[in-house]
Amino acid sequence: MQQRVSWNSKLGLILAAAGNAVGLGNILRFPSKAALYGGGAFMVPYFVALVLMGLPLMIIEWVIGRYAGRHGHGSMTGILGLFFNHASWARVLGSIGVAIPLLICMYYIYIESWTLGFAFLSLFGKMPTPVINSDAHEAVKPYVNFFKEYTKPSIMAYFFLVLTLLINWFILQKGIRRGIEITAKIGMPAIIVFGVFLGIICISANNWKGFEGLKFIYNLNFSGITNPVVWVEAAGQIFFTLSLGMGAIAVYASYVNPKEDVIKAGIWTALINEFVEVVIGASIAIPAAFAMFSSVVIPELAQEGTFRLGFMTMPAVFMSFPLGWLISFIWFMLLFLAALTSSLALIQPLIALFEDEMKWGHTKSVSVSMIFVIIGAHFSAFIPNFIDELDFWAGCFMLLLFGLLEIIIFIWIFGMNNFYKELTQNTKIILPKAFFYVVAVVSPFFIFSILYFWVVKDFKNIVFTEEPTKIVARLFILLFLVFLSIIAVKSRKIIMRDIRYTKVMKK
Ligand code: PHE
């Protein structure tokens, strides 16, 4: 078996994994979900989901990833195959774990390109001039129009989309060490510095009125716990922000050397991500909006979608500050760096699929993967509703389902003893076995019940549609799944041939 590439250093590995997890989810998605579902009322299910599901699944994906990497697999197609003697059905099932990150990437990267575009527009003084008005609607209006013009999409938007795609392509072509790891080593410290800086500005804005925003998020209360939608959204956010339930963490873990302490790495990944979410993410967008507008409009602003907050409300706030163009530039650079280190992680599973399962060379694997990303990004840019449809199916529903599947397969089918043996290898942090018995029962039950209540309550409204653009998006998702299934079955022959060959060589 050929030597698998690995991360260059421990620090590099942790920063790469943190870069994977820290993204638009932390700085944009989290504050808008929190605002939408009542601040402190959202945070209770959020923390419950973090402990019962997020942390255990994070550790599971690291352990499984290291195990699979040792056997030459990184993508979920290969990983699930590995557990069932490379049976076709298992490989096909695993393909869902390659489809999800790529489908997410197809719209994520388009949004990433807006952040780059808006960073440049801020730097060159091309953002609209602020209207000072305590009425949020009036103050935000110029930026709403500006954003609508930009995402029509304008030529400018298209230019930055191409640039963003090229940047991702270039870094991925450089590979794990010289591409992804180096980007994270530069990006992560910058994200923290920019984030802390903006957090301080927003909380202290308007004579510390921003502080009210932080209080709103941390006014913990139980008023949300009877609403299944709040639970689904909170659990969905945990999955999304920690990059769980789709093999995006496992693929990075497959590039560690076999002796790496993956428990430590998993805990660090979660800690850094949660710092950037519940400390930095909580201190920017919502406090800024509280500082400038009356608090009654906040849920209303959040209602209009995750992106409104980032691309319309925030520039309206920042541009009204002294040196507004600079603060706005830092805001969009923060978003861009966070998004970039995540989009790399969203594409890597497909690259690993081609490299490990099809045995293609690196350049070919990267190029073919990028072609899919490019096609998907064009759909996102030119077909209305495409982004939201993908975000719902891949970014929420399939994630929960696949997360459930991961726990069942990795703990129940792999077997608690095998899992525990794998878990306790090369680590100083010994988690008690009882903990995993609890996880094995509680986490699946938790995910299953939120899915159940939510399907009962909302599914019908969501599934039935006559909107043609939504149907196009769903067909696209289906076709992509079929394509990946074909690859999963076809590549099986290559893997089986390799296994036979290794056996013969051993004799
Ligand atoms: N965790 C990233 C974020 O918070 C999104 C992501 C999901 C990245 C899955 C990689 C894999 O934005």
Question: For 391-430, how does the pLDDT look when each residue is reduced to its tens digit (9 = 90+)?
Answer: 889 988 898 899 999 988 888 888 888 888 888 888 888 8
On the question of pLDDT at 327 being above 90, the answer is: yes
Once rounded to an integer, what is the mean pLDDT over residues 111-133? 95
Instruction: Using the mean position of ligand 1's atoms as its centre, give its distance from the Cα of residue 30 in Å.
Output: 12
Per-residue pLDDT band for 128 (boundaries 50, 70, 90) equals: very high
pLDDT value of residue 392: 84
Q: Is 301 in the pocket of ligand 1 (CB under 6 A)?
A: no
Instruction: Using the mean position of ligand 1's atoms as its centre, give its distance from the Cα of residue 23 in Å.
Output: 6
CA torsion through residues 427, 417, 447, 16, sign: positive
> Which ligand 1 atom sits closest to the C-alpha of 100?
9
Q: Is 395 in the pocket of ligand 1 (CB under 6 A)?
A: no
On the question of pLDDT at 119 being above 60, the answer is: yes
Q: Is 117 in the pocket of ligand 1 (CB under 6 A)?
A: no
Per-residue pLDDT band for 2 (boundaries 50, 70, 90) equals: low
Average pLDDT, the chain: 92
| Range name among 84-98, 199-213, 354-368, 462-476 with the lowest pLDDT average | 462-476
Q: Delineate the domains of the chain, giving CATH numbers in brackets.
A: 10-506 (1.20.1740)
Do residues 387 and 132 make contact, with C-beta atoms less than 8 angstroms apart? no
Instruction: Using the mean position of ligand 1's atoms as its centre, give its distance from the Cα of residue 88 in Å.
Output: 28
Q: Is 342 in the pocket of ligand 1 (CB under 6 A)?
A: yes
pLDDT tens, residue by residue, 215-246? 999 999 999 899 888 988 898 899 999 999 99
Q: Does an H or E element contain 473, and which?
A: helix 468-506
Q: Is 26 in the pocket of ligand 1 (CB under 6 A)?
A: yes
How far is it, in rounded angstroms, from Cα 158 to Cα 116?
12
On the question of pLDDT at 303 being above 90, the answer is: no
pLDDT tens, residue by residue, 159-218? 999 999 999 999 999 999 999 999 999 999 999 999 999 999 999 998 999 999 999 999
Residue 347's closest CA among 357, 339, 337?
A: 339
pTM summary value: 0.95
pLDDT value of residue 59: 92
Instruction: Using the mean position of ligand 1's atoms as its centre, give its distance from the Cα of residue 83 in Å.
Output: 26
pLDDT value of residue 94: 97
Q: Is 20 in the pocket of ligand 1 (CB under 6 A)?
A: yes
Query: Which positions ≥6 away from 193 have C-beta within 8 Å?
Result: none
Do residues 242 and 158 make contact, with C-beta atoms less than 8 angstroms apart? no
On the question of pLDDT at 294 being above 80, the answer is: no
Q: Is 345 in the pocket of ligand 1 (CB under 6 A)?
A: yes
pLDDT value of residue 223: 92
> Which ligand 1 atom sits closest to the C-alpha of 345?
10
Is cis: bond before 153, omega within 30 of 0?
yes
pLDDT tens, residue by residue, 333-368? 999 999 999 999 999 999 999 999 999 999 999 999
> Which ligand 1 atom sits closest to the C-alpha of 338?
12
On the question of pLDDT at 1 being above 70, the answer is: no
